[in-house]
Structure 1
Amino acid sequence: MEHAESSLPLGLEMRARGASTNETPRFEQLTRSFASDGWDIPYEGGVVRTTLAREEPRRVITRNSSPDIPFDRSINPYRGCEHGCTYCFARPTHAWLGLSAGLDFETRLVAKTNVAAQLERELRHPNYAVAPIAIGTNTDPYQPVEAREKTMRAIVQVLSDYNHPLMITTKGTLIERDLDLLAPMARRGLLNVGISLTTLGTTLSRQLEPRAPTPARRLKTIRMLADAGIPVRVMVAPVIPGLSDHELEAILGAARGAGARAASWIMLRLPLEVSQLFQDWLATHVPERKEKVMRRIREMHGGKDYAANWGKRMRGEGEFAELIGKRFEIATTRLGFEDSLPKLTSALFACPERKGDQLSLF
């Protein structure tokens, strides 16, 4: 099906937004166009505003069997992400809601309600087998809306109460708010955190990740977490060939200096709608580099913008991908990074007693 671009109000200002279009979702049979009725709240004042809907999930823990990732379960507190990272591989998931991977993904968010109670029910199920839960693998749990919603904090509180191992990935500095819960979990061997950095350049970061904290601010977060005794991994992600790949060693050095103990990297991924959105971004911000960037990407994916093959999709193939891997290996060895963060323990997991529970005899 051909996707027609959804028209937007004339004079609309794309202030601090990663996408500039709102293409009709790929599962929709009808195209969409904008017609003002005088009640255009999302576009009030000529600026795209963020709106928030809520849903009560039937399940909180999502399972996966991917061989490319080191966990089998995760929690996504939010659908969509206001950080607006142009390259975000999660953008296409908004199509399942009948929404666009473009502006809808970063302006029409969905928060999950009653998460803590549902999570407790799942953890208390007689057949539940404990293993680390990953949060932040799809959309960022510490994006701006979390300051008001506190959904992530409620999740962390439950996992702390149950002594459940947790892995967090974020670029949001709001994680610092929850140090009172996270630091004790780390001391019990229940937590590690990954902070992602794409570039050290403030201007490039603002263009790529318009509502995410600046790189310098994220480095400060790494320092605060490390000083609190929390094992931190820097994630050089994504590496953008022809645009940010030259910063690999500098990013690793800055993160190591801030206290990161381990590191990882992921090559830029352009699944489905993300490819055209990113190409539009290149044409707008760095038109002179567009051809080089896309040529490199296609070289690593057999001539395609993206290939989702297991074992290859995160890094790509070919000489350039191998060169990035070798540079990463040399830099992390020189800087003294650990091969991996300490393994999280599952031995402490236990369901806390509730009022009315029958006490154990032992």
Structure 2
Amino acid sequence: MSSAGSGPRIDPVPGPGQGPTPGRGASGNPANRFDRLAVTPEDDGWDPGEAPPPLRTETRVERPRSAITRNSSPDVPFDRSVNPYRGCEHGCIYCFARPSHAWLGLSPGLDFESRLIARPEAPRVLAEELSRRGYRPATLAIGTNTDPYQPIERSYRVMRGLLEVLRDFRHPVAVVTKGALIERDLDLLAELAELELVRVGISVTTLDRDLSRRLEPRAPAPERRLRTIERLAAAGVPVRVMVAPVIPALTDPELEAILARAAAAGAGAASWIMLRLPREVGPLFSDWLARHCSDRAARVLARLREMHGGEIYSPDWGCRMRGEGPYAEIVAQRFRLAVARLGLATAQPELSTALFRVPPRAGDQLSLF
């Protein structure tokens, strides 16, 4: 990421059985905040001298009663979304969605990235909801909680099913992902793009491959994400780069470089979000810093406290995504200057709702007009 002596020191990753689980972001399972009892590991005095077995990903199936989730947050530009999966195998240690796993009776730590929920019937349920009398279309967001193109999508194909439904209904959709698997669906995305019904955001946190591997252990490498931007743009799909999250004193020096590389790859727009550490994410990320970037840990946390009134996170509307104070304003100004210099827009075009229609079902009488 930086020349020798100026970048963050990446501390050696402990081997198996010494704490962190190889290939995972979290180092353990903090207690679920809704549980009355907590389990704490204790040394029983026996040392078998063997590495523990690798942590395998488990996937359960959920049959959703509804597909569309509504929200009224003033911080996001959409009022509805769909989540194909709960939990995310990418294992990004900073993921603000980790606390949502507590609602399932699971931990926001390793459980979030290894005990996943797939919703294979979501496309059918979505089609039913879009067909209801009185439904009014607006851009549907996918990928705002957990990544729709995480590795299990390769076998479950829930996201592809959702795109097929949205194509048939000619419904606008905005997709956010880190996953290169989105390229599998270029046929559908290009078809939607021709009708001004889709836009895509690709998240790039750092250009440093080693740092990315530790921050986002099962997400595609930075160069691979830039190649995905290039392929989406070449297929005519509107794509923006999301510099998200910006991590103070760790990835913030790369802001301009990420934007420049993404612009060269074909991104037409850009956005940024400051690191957010709600609920259990704060302790998980602090532990990660101590293990992987101990020389920067105090500085990173100090910057966060500067922006959130002495806390490492504030949930207040209007500032939770960007922070407040001099440092937050400096980052915002750097972003504004960079996108102006690179010719990147700060917003993508509005998507069309005029083409929305409920497709005929088998046995329906076709209209004569």
- Structure-1-length-normalised TM-score: 0.93
State how far apart, in whole Å, the 1-side matches of 2:185 and 2:120 are.
19
Equivalent residue for 2:305, pick from 283, 298, 309: 298
Who is 1:88 aligned against?
A: 95
Equivalent residue for 1:258, pick from 253, 262, 265: 265
Who is 2:181 aligned against?
A: 174
State how far apart, in whole Å, the 1-side matches of 2:340 and 2:18 are.
51
Letter in 2 for 1:233: R
Is residue 83 of structure 2 the alignment partner of residue 49 of structure 1? no
Who is 1:214 aligned against?
A: 221
State how far apart, in whole Å, the 2-side matches of 1:113 and 1:27 are.
28
Who is 1:151 aligned against?
A: 158
Q: Give the deviation of 1:113 after TM superposition.
A: 2.5
Q: Give the deviation of 1:343 after TM superposition.
A: 1.1
The runs of 5 or more residues in structure 2 that have no matched partner are: 1-15, 43-50
Who is 2:136 aligned against?
A: 129
Who is 1:19 aligned against?
A: 26
Equivalent residue for 2:170, pick from 152, 163, 169: 163
State how far apart, in whole Å, the 2-side matches of 1:33 and 1:92 are.
20
State how far apart, in whole Å, the 2-side matches of 1:10 and 1:248 are.
36
Who is 2:243 aligned against?
A: 236
Q: Give the deviation of 1:32 after TM superposition.
A: 2.8
CA contact (8 A) 1:112 1:151 kept: yes
Q: Percent identity of the aligned residues?
A: 59
Equivalent residue for 2:353, pick from 321, 341, 346: 346
Q: Deviations over 1:155-187 (max 9, x none)?
A: 001001111000000000000000111111001
State how far apart, in whole Å, the 2-side matches of 1:150 and 1:126 are.
28
Who is 2:37 aligned against?
A: 30
- Structure-2-length-normalised TM-score: 0.92
Q: Give the deviation of 1:31 after TM superposition.
A: 1.3
Letter in 2 for 1:311: G
Q: Give the deviation of 1:332 after TM superposition.
A: 0.3
Q: Give the deviation of 1:117 after TM superposition.
A: 1.3
Who is 2:8 aligned against?
A: none
Q: Give the deviation of 1:75 after TM superposition.
A: 0.3
State how far apart, in whole Å, the 2-side matches of 1:198 and 1:13 are.
22
Superposition RMSD in Å? 1.5
Letter in 1 for 2:242: M
Q: Give the deviation of 1:339 after TM superposition.
A: 3.4
CA contact (8 A) 1:183 1:230 kept: yes
Q: Give the deviation of 1:114 after TM superposition.
A: 1.3
Q: Give the deviation of 1:342 after TM superposition.
A: 1.6
Is residue 275 of structure 2 the alignment partner of residue 268 of structure 1? yes
Q: Deviations over 1:114-160 (max 9, x none)?
A: 11211111000002110010000000000000001101000001001
CA contact (8 A) 2:19 2:27 kept: no
Who is 1:109 aligned against?
A: 116
State how far apart, in whole Å, the 1-side matches of 2:69 and 2:346 are.
28
Is residue 359 of structure 2 the alignment partner of residue 355 of structure 1? no
Q: Give the deviation of 1:360 after TM superposition.
A: 2.5
Letter in 1 for 2:35: E
- Change beyond 3 A, Cα 1:283–1:45: closer
Who is 1:5 aligned against?
A: none
CA contact (8 A) 2:169 2:357 kept: yes
- Higher relative contact order by CA 8 Å / sep ≥ 6: 1 or 2? 2
The runs of 5 or more residues in structure 1 that have no matched partner are: 1-8, 36-43
State how far apart, in whole Å, the 2-side matches of 1:313 and 1:12 are.
32
State how far apart, in whole Å, the 2-side matches of 1:290 and 1:48 are.
27
- Change beyond 3 A, Cα 1:11–1:201: closer
SS of residue paired to 2:321: coil
